[in-house]
């Protein structure tokens, strides 16, 4: 009973926080920039006063009103974990204590607090060691406010009694992860909600959704696109009036499949464990509104210079303007973002993100035809594969001497040979245009693409060392780690002919 009362009280505070955030949507852009600037200065000064790590790192930098954020040091995940005990602002928090708490949550469904105060979550760690992130009670209320603002103002999911909307959410249901934790914090009966673990077999998800008939469907991009395929094949029969994706890159072909399945343009949101909700599109679908009242975002090139709108960035630095327990100032987020120079027709003052294309480690350094290596953006791989009509899902693994494509065919596709040839041909042509030399492409037709054992997410492109976390997981004896899917058969394409 006590836990229920606390959850209701927290959710009500989150609703009030969402209302305050929603008021910012009626400001003009200059007022929003001033507000962001005030919060940025307050965050940096708080870190300098209460975090031993930042007290040392910011020594000698005058934290005046005209502070240039570019003068502040950056932070990456490795340094954050190495100096965790000195970085946090409560000396009772230690990395060892946080990891022990996460271990207790591993097989739990509780919204348990560390030291009676802190919610602890972990990032997926799909490219190496996972990150750990701590939010105090008041910090978490504003994180909830950002989530509720998205569901209410952007998706139109404002609670209305006596009718309660039927919402289905497909993501990670563990309290280790932010999506699971938000569910635990907000499920107080305002809506009827069924939560499905993205790692559940697709057939079971279809069975539950058919029986439930959700009015709103929200989940990982890969999960929602997979369900759209089931709808188009006639195995799923639901009619949601709102569809939204989050937490993964949503490719053009995923969006087209979702639109074909349910006749509605899907909403999209950009969120991370490090920050909560960063951005989301509104019903104009003109780009994603960057929630600059919650974060300060810098999109940079490889040399660390700000990029102009319309130019893809190579680095993203984010300052969390909410988290006072674990200050993250100019934290390397590792995503590939393109800013927009347009304003949304809805009139909201937030700057727009034109695209979120994946992670910086999705950029592949491949052997160049002229010698050395050439960097290849993930769009050079995703775009040609989007044109393969019979390709339902895929994952590209960059190995030392080849590219391996794991391909799932559209249900009912006939001879996979022509699909194999098309995949190899389109990839070869795209890579050759970008100066890549002869590179064998191995196509494996598989029944399914494995999901990450912790989060249930999928990555479209991985390097040969991107399965570090899977190896570590098996060493720990986890039972839910998927093995590599068994190929139906493999075909190695011939290398491309040298140009000229």
In tens, the pLDDT along 260-270 reads 999 999 999 99
Q: Is the pLDDT score of 81 beyond 90?
A: yes
Q: What structural domains and CATH numbers belong to the chain?
A: 2-356 (3.40.50.12780), 363-492 (3.30.300.30)
Q: Is the pLDDT score of 498 beyond 80?
A: no
Phi/psi at 281 (nearest 5 deg)? -90, 155
Q: Is the pLDDT score of 1 beyond 80?
A: no
| pLDDT-above-90 percentage for the chain | 58
Name which of 302-306, 418-422, 479-483 the model is least confident about: 479-483
The mean pLDDT of 403-421, rounded to a whole number, is: 83
The mean pLDDT of 176-195, rounded to a whole number, is: 84
Q: Is the pLDDT score of 368 beyond 80?
A: yes
The mean pLDDT of 307-330, rounded to a whole number, is: 96
Region of residue 168 (phi > 0: left; psi between -120 and 50: alpha; otherwise: beta): beta
CB-based contacts of 379: which residues, under 8 Å, 6+ apart?
A: 357
In tens, the pLDDT along 206-245 reads 999 999 999 999 999 989 998 999 999 999 999 999 999 9
Helices 137-149 and 2-23: crossing angle, nearest 10°?
A: 60
pLDDT, position 354: 94
Whether 454 contacts 122, CB under 8 Å: yes
pLDDT, position 460: 85
How many angstroms separate the CA atoms of 368 and 370, rounded? 5
| 3-class DSSP string for 98-121 | HHHHHHHHCCCCCCCCECCCEEEE
pLDDT, position 216: 96
pLDDT, position 482: 34
pTM over 0.85: no
Strand-pairing partners, residue 365, are 375
């Amino acid at each position: 009973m006590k836990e229920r009362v606390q959850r209701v009280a927290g959710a009500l505070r989150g609703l009030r926080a969402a209302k305050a955030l929603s008021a910012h949507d009626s400001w003009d852009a200059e007022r929003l920039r001033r507000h962001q600037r005030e919060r940025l200065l307050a965050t940096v000064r708080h870190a300098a006063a209460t975090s031993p790590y930042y007290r040392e790192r910011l020594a000698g930098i005058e934290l005046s009103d005209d502070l240039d954020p570019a003068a502040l040091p950056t932070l990456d995940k490795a340094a954050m974990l190495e100096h965790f005990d000195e970085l946090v602002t409560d000396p009772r928090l230690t990395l060892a204590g946080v990891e022990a708490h996460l271990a207790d949550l591993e097989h739990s469904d509780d919204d348990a607090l560390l030291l009676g105060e802190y919610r602890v979550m972990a990032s997926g760690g799909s490219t190496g060691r996972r990150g750990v992130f701590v939010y105090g009670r008041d910090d978490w209320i504003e994180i909830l406010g950002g989530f509720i603002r998205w569901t209410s103002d952007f998706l139109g999911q404002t609670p209305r009694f006596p009718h309660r909307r039927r919402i289905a959410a497909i993501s990670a249901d563990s309290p280790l992860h932010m999506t699971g934790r938000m569910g635990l914090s907000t499920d107080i009966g305002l809506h009827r909600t069924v939560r499905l673990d993205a790692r559940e077999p697709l057939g079971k998800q279809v069975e539950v959704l058919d029986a439930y008939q959700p009015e709103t469907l929200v989940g990982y991009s890969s999960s929602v696109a997979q369900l759209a395929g089931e709808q188009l094949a006639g195995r799923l029969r639901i009619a949601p009036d709102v569809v939204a994706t989050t937490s993964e890159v949503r490719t053009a072909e995923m969006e087209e499949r979702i639109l074909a399945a349910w006749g509605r343009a899907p909403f999209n949101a950009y969120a991370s464990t490090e920050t909560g909700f960063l951005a989301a599109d509104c019903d104009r679908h003109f780009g994603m509104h960057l929630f600059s009242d919650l974060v300060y975002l810098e999109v940079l090139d490889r040399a660390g210079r700000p990029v102009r709108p319309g130019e893809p960035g190579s680095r993203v630095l984010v300052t969390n303007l909410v988290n006072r327990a674990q200050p993250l100032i100019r934290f390397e987020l590792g995503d590939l973002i393109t800013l927009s120079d347009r304003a949304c027709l809805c009139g909201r003052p937030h700057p727009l993100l034109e695209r979120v294309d994946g992670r910086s480690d999705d950029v592949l350094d491949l052997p160049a035809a002229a010698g050395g290596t050439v960097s290849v953006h993930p769009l050079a791989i995703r775009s040609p594969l989007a044109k393969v009509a019979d390709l339902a899902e895929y994952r590209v693994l960059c190995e030392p001497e080849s590219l391996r494509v794991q391909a799932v065919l559209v249900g009912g596709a006939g001879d996979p040979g022509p699909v194999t040839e098309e995949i190899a041909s389109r990839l070869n042509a795209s890579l050759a245009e970008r100066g890549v030399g002869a590179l064998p492409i191995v196509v494996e037709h598989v029944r399914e693409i494995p999901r990450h054992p912790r989060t249930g997410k999928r990555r479209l492109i991985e390097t040969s060392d991107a399965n570090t976390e899977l190896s570590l997981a098996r060493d720990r004896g986890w039972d839910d780690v998927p093995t590599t899917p068994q190929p139906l058969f493999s075909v190695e394409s011939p290398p491309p002919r040298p140009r000229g």
